[in-house]
């Protein structure tokens, strides 16, 4: 069993998940990352690009195929990680999707709603349930171990975006899930945190870049810039190290100050 901590990052092949995986690996974690797309021959993008990048820096990244919507895949991923590494010290619930198409909420489709809710909320809940039970079991025999769970939500928890209602609903729900797990797992010494990214430069925001470039120039963000996957990775790493032991249930907003009420 490795002396290094094992971090499982869902949706690690791109965007914020990639940034989190790189930051954790740089900090000395062994990182496991999953994705629905799994192509060992493609080192230009996806999980195996992340693996190559981390390994060039001397880190360890273990890619695994799995869809968080599938209970069967949940069990396969958990069993594989435990077989390879013996435990999961940190779970980072990052995987998520945007609506199929940005539509006024009066036109939102059931297909898009179900897709977003299944991945962003339902799948994440049940994967966390599975891993939380494994963490509890492990801590009963290893009292010095303090596992950590981190949920990546969004400023859409409280910012209204009627053109992507299903996304806002899923992230608001996930915020509540984070609170519930923090409450339920506290007795086992398992801390749970929520990180709310702000406007972050990823492939998910490419189509609205011009819109947000303008809003940022007009003062939307006090720190006056886009967020980056590296910003989110650093936030996760600070929590994953265990530097906030008396703060379970806390929400960290990484939005450049968008939560500040201004006149």
Nearest to 154 by CA among 94, 223, 220: 94
Catalytic residue from among 138, 158, 167, 193: 167
Angle, helices 71-85/124-141, rounded to nearest 10 degrees:
30
Pair 78, 134: CB distance under 8 Å? yes
Separation between Cα atoms, residue 211 and residue 192, nearest integer Å: 34
167 is catalytic: yes
Q: Under a CB-based contact definition with an 8 Å cutoff, are residues 61 and 50 in contact?
A: yes
Q: How far apart are CA 129 and CA 144, in angstroms?
A: 22
| Residues whose CB is less than 8 angstroms from the CB of residue 190 and which lie 6 or more positions away in sequence, other chains included | 132, 135, 136, 139, 146, 147, 148, 149
Give every strand in the sheet of 90-93, ordered side by side: 60-65, 30-35, 6-9, 90-93, 148-152, 191-197, 251-254
Tokens 């991923």: give the residue: 77
Point out the residues that are catalytic.
Answer: 167
């Amino acid at each position: 069993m490795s002396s290094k901590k094992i971090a499982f990052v869902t949706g690690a092949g791109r965007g914020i998940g990639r940034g989190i995986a790189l930051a954790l690996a740089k900090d000395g974690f062994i990182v496991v990352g999953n994705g629905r797309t799994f192509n060992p021959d493609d080192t230009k993008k996806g999980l195996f690009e992340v693996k190559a990048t981390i390994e060039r820096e001397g880190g360890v990244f273990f890619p695994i195929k799995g869809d968080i919507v599938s209970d069967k895949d949940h069990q396969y991923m958990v069993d594989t990680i435990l077989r390879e590494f013996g435990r999961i010290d940190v779970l980072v619930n990052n995987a998520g999707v945007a609506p199929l198409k940005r539509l006024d909420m009066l036109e939102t489709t059931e297909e898009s709603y179900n897709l977003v809710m299944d991945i962003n909320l339902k799948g994440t809940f049940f994967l966390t349930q599975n891993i939380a039970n494994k963490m509890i079991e492990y801590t009963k025999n290893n009292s010095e171990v303090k596992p950590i769970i981190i949920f990546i939500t969004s400023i859409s928890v409280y910012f209204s975006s009627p053109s992507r209602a299903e996304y806002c609903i899923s992230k608001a729900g996930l915020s509540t899930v984070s609170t519930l797990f923090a409450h339920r797992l506290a007795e086992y010494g398992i801390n749970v945190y929520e990180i709310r990214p702000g406007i972050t430069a990823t492939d998910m925001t490419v189509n609205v870049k011009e819109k947000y470039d303008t809003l940022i120039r007009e003062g939307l963000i006090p720190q006056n810039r886009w967020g980056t996957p590296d910003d989110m990775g650093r936030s996760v790493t600070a929590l994953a190290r265990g530097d906030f032991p008396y703060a379970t249930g806390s929400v960290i907003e990484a939005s450049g100050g968008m939560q500040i009420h201004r006149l």
